[in-house]
Amino acid sequence: MAIVLRDKFEMLSNMTPSLKEGEYVFCSIPNEGSKAHNLNPIATFHEKEGLTVILEKGEAHEAGFEISLAMRQITLIVNSALDGVGLTAGVAASLAEAGIPCNMVAAYHHDHIFVPTGLADRALHLLERLQRESARAMR
């Protein structure tokens, strides 16, 4: 059984950011809407205003959604606890300092960061640097 990390610096120093193939868009389906049928979202979230779905860009386009803000997904490969403190904040702060907007999605096994397509490579390099710097700080 893998050790589950809860400490900010342990999580940051042990994360491996991985840039996934493809582009994604965040879409919203009104609560009374029927567009959700036959969609294959990678994530959903129910909000008062409607159902948020994260779709592959091509599927979103075919379904008639706005696709102007295409994003790339960076997954953090780290055994972080659901009650771990600081991973999301550390990652978001690092990207914010560089002027890179991000949407964080925390799932059961991994955290996922969505950044605008044109900034994905830069974001990945910043997160790799954050990992290295955090590992050095722990020594």
Binning pLDDT at 50, 70 and 90, where does residue 8 land? Answer: confident
Residue 36 has pLDDT above 90, yes or no: no
- 3's enclosing H/E stretch is none
Binning pLDDT at 50, 70 and 90, where does residue 100 land? Answer: very high
* Alpha-carbon distances of 24 from 62, 70, 81, rounded to whole Å: 13, 6, 26
Q: What pLDDT does residue 33 have?
A: 59
Binning pLDDT at 50, 70 and 90, where does residue 87 land? Answer: very high
The mean pLDDT of the chain is: 92
Which residue would you say has higher pLDDT here, 104 or 34? 104
Q: What pLDDT does residue 37 have?
A: 67
Distance CA 30, CA 53 (A): 11
Binning pLDDT at 50, 70 and 90, where does residue 35 land? Answer: low
Q: Is 123 left (phi over 0), alpha (psi -120 to 50) or beta?
A: alpha
Give rounded-to-5 percent helix, strand, coil for the chain.
35, 30, 35
- Residue 107: name the closest of 76, 70, 69, 72 by CA: 76
Residue 53 has pLDDT above 60, yes or no: yes
Which residue would you say has higher pLDDT here, 35 or 86? 86
Distance CA 11, CA 60 (A): 33
Q: What pLDDT does residue 59 have?
A: 96
Give SS3 for 90: helix
